[in-house]
Structure 1
Amino acid sequence: MKKLFQNGLLFFFSIAVAILLAEAVCRIIPLSNDSDPTYKLAHEVLPFVMKPNSESISIHGHVLKINSHGLRDFEYSYEKEKGVFRILVLGDSVTFAFGNDMEAGYSKVLERQLNEIVEKKYSKVEVINAAHNGYNTFDEYNYLRLYGLKYSPDLLVVGVTYADFTTQSMNIIIKDGVDSRPGSFWLNIPTWVKKTLRQSHLYIAIGWVRANRGFSIKDPTAHPVPSENNETLIKTKDNFDKITALASKEKIPLYFISIPGRGEVLLKSYLHPQFIQHLRTLENEGKGYFIDSLDGFTSHSDRLDDLYALKDSSHPSAEGHQILGNYLFKRISPIVSK
């Protein structure tokens, strides 16, 4: 019995050592993309909102500081000061600057560039990043009508990625700031356990491997182009139209910017071309403006690892965000300049 007890202790000790070694290896050699431990709050319309005045640190060391209005940005009041030109940016995790410091995101790149214009019509330009990690175009429309218009924006930018090609918002249950899928066993586990695991590089790496198992965005045959009668395509177009209609009603110039994933850069084409074509159609109809940034990434396709965040096929790095900021600056700067 004593020997069995000793063997059991040795077994569990060995497992503990193996886990600690694996954790150490994952910290030395990152095996996954970044994390988002932002404290979330439930909302009756939106999938979630971020807790105002909260702060957390991602697995790769990026600070996620949320302002008093629940945005990952500097502090901006709803009331716009006289002489200020204000731009509101909507989007998902890419626009949120996932995997980057906040100031590396393209909204902040654009803000800096516009304010560096010596001869401009306005005393200051504010670019407010209202992106949320996991939002789709329907969520962005709802955020705009519920909160975005309170900022009295003079111009609206919507960042578009292939992840927006969906009909459903995130379906999550939030407990003590932590989100879980309905039916998940995590709902029966104390939230402090999941919060602790979110700081584990090994845990994040295992989740990343599971999520990307068998996924090949490089293979275009794995992502067939949907027909015009495809339900997802129809609903996604409808979401764009809702944003366009609201911007038109409020007389706010609207700019859509496409943000390609790593696989789309390799393919030199978008996974959902009809999705993009609809945005071009909106521009042709005078309902908005479309900025296609794909060429800006394909021209540097030999340096993809520099353009995308660590171990990430969707989220641009600081250099990738610089490309996006440059595209926006080129189109918007004439509006600001004298």
Structure 2
Amino acid sequence: MIASPPWATRAFLLAAALLLAAEIVARLGFASSVDGRFDYGYHPTAGFQETPDGRVHLIRSGGRRFFPQSYSIQRPTGTFRILVLGDSVPRGVSVDLAYGGQLAALLRARGTPAEVWNLCVPGYGARRVQTVLRQALHYSPSLVILHLNNSNEFEDERELRRSQEFAGWHPKNWLMKSFLFRRLYEAKTEQVAWKLLPESIRARQGVNDADAEIAASMNASLARQWEERVRSETRKSVGLCDERGVPILLVTQATWSTQSGARRIQDAGLAELAQSLTNRHIAWVSMLETLREGDLPSLFADASHLKPPGHSLMAKALLRTLDATALLETRSGRQDTGRSLTR
């Protein structure tokens, strides 16, 4: 009789079976949560859940904290479909109160059937915004509103490193291919190590994001690299829309502060980028120019995020720009057919 290996005890085999069962349950029962979970926003289709009834549901999955929304995959005939992409600023506090939702409401109020998809995710920089855009363009938008901000490149870079941490099939990565073990590792890092380690150790290990981001922003070479990335990725995003015949409204971020009792609002140099991209199919709305004459404390929730009245002013400025540039009529976008997640 062949003796069992010393490790093959009943307790070990039972534990292994339970872990395997838990892994199967997690992957089958919570597939939408598992899909792209450790891509940290770089998974191409995370957050877009298509169903056999011809609808696409925007869900919180794979590092994409979309507002829950549901739309027809095929754009309804005669409907002006607006996609808004960016970070937490255009996201707003809700789909309806954000400037994209208010713009759609203004269009409907004057008889234009319109719907808005709020595809904005907090902390997304130019590269992850483009990842979302590539998938979103399959849904035949009539207009893309692209909110430009250059303050999220640290997060984009950090999450890219995290997504690549256990890439490949080297034996050292095998354990982390398990959803359960990877989730435990993530929780240990975020909920234990990042919170319980002494400040000096956290700084050395690069987990003190606030300090690390400040240090990175003061690195002139790195700042120039990130600025160029914003420019390069934004041009690529504009090119993707142009290939599909989709008009674009660029919105440039503005921030405000009080210095020596005086209120100061600025756009961090984004105006030059937006202006260089405008043509008869690409228009530009500046937050700085739209809001500078208003009562800034009543329009801004903090240095960069808007209150609903600020979003309302932006929506009206967007509508004026649509009318002035005729983007409502110039291009309709190419109509896709079929299910897009299988492409």
TM class by shorter-chain length? 0.5 to 0.7
Match of 1:168 in 2: 157
2: CA distance between counterparts of 1:260 and 1:93?
Answer: 13
2:136 paired with 1:132: no
Matched-pair identity in %: 18
2:221 paired with 1:231: no
4+ residue runs over 6 A deviation: 178-184
Unmatched runs of 5 consecutive residues or more in structure 2: 1-32, 51-55, 60-65, 164-178, 196-208, 330-343
Contact 1:73 1:102 in 2 (8 A): no
2: CA distance between counterparts of 1:288 and 1:131?
Answer: 20
Match of 2:257 in 1: 263
Deviations 1:38-57 (A, max 9, x none): x896154834745969xxxx
Structure showing greater Rg = 2
2: CA distance between counterparts of 1:299 and 1:83?
Answer: 37
Deviation of the 1:240 alpha carbon: 0.7
Length-normalised TM-score, structure 2 = 0.59
Match of 1:327 in 2: 317
2: CA distance between counterparts of 1:185 and 1:241?
Answer: 35
Deviations 1:205-239 (A, max 9, x none): xxxxx959xx8xxxxxx989x79x92222211110
CA distance change for structure 1 residues 169 and 256 in 2, over 3 Å: closer, same or farther?
A: farther
1: CA distance between counterparts of 2:321 and 2:107?
Answer: 11
> Which residue, out of 119, 134, 144, partners 1:156?
144
1: CA distance between counterparts of 2:151 and 2:317?
Answer: 21
Residues 1-338 of structure 1 mapped to structure 2, 5 A cutoff: 42=37, 44=39, 46-47=41-42, 49-50=46-47, 68-70=57-59, 71-72=66-67, 74-97=69-92, 100-118=93-111, 120=112, 124-145=113-134, 147-164=135-152, 168=157, 170=159, 185-186=189-190, 188=192, 230-263=224-257, 266-271=263-268, 273=269, 275-283=270-278, 288-301=282-295, 303-304=296-297, 306-309=298-301, 312-333=302-323, 334-336=326-328
Deviation of the 1:268 alpha carbon: 3.1
Computed over aligned residues only, the root mean square deviation of the Cα atoms, in angstroms, reads 4.1
Higher share in helix: 2
CA distance change for structure 1 residues 230 and 260 in 2, over 3 Å: closer, same or farther?
A: same
Contact 2:150 2:230 in 1 (8 A): no
2: CA distance between counterparts of 1:181 and 1:297?
Answer: 44
Structure having greater relative contact order (Cα 8 Å, sep ≥ 6): 1
1: CA distance between counterparts of 2:108 and 2:183?
Answer: 38
1: CA distance between counterparts of 2:153 and 2:190?
Answer: 28
2: CA distance between counterparts of 1:266 and 1:296?
Answer: 15
1: CA distance between counterparts of 2:328 and 2:239?
Answer: 24
Unmatched runs of 5 consecutive residues or more in structure 1: 1-38, 54-66, 194-209, 216-221
Deviation of the 1:164 alpha carbon: 4.4
2: CA distance between counterparts of 1:181 and 1:93?
Answer: 27
2: CA distance between counterparts of 1:180 and 1:94?
Answer: 31
Length-normalised TM-score, structure 1 = 0.60
SS of the aligned residue for 2:235 comes to helix
CA distance change for structure 1 residues 45 and 327 in 2, over 3 Å: closer, same or farther?
A: same
Deviation of the 1:151 alpha carbon: 1.4
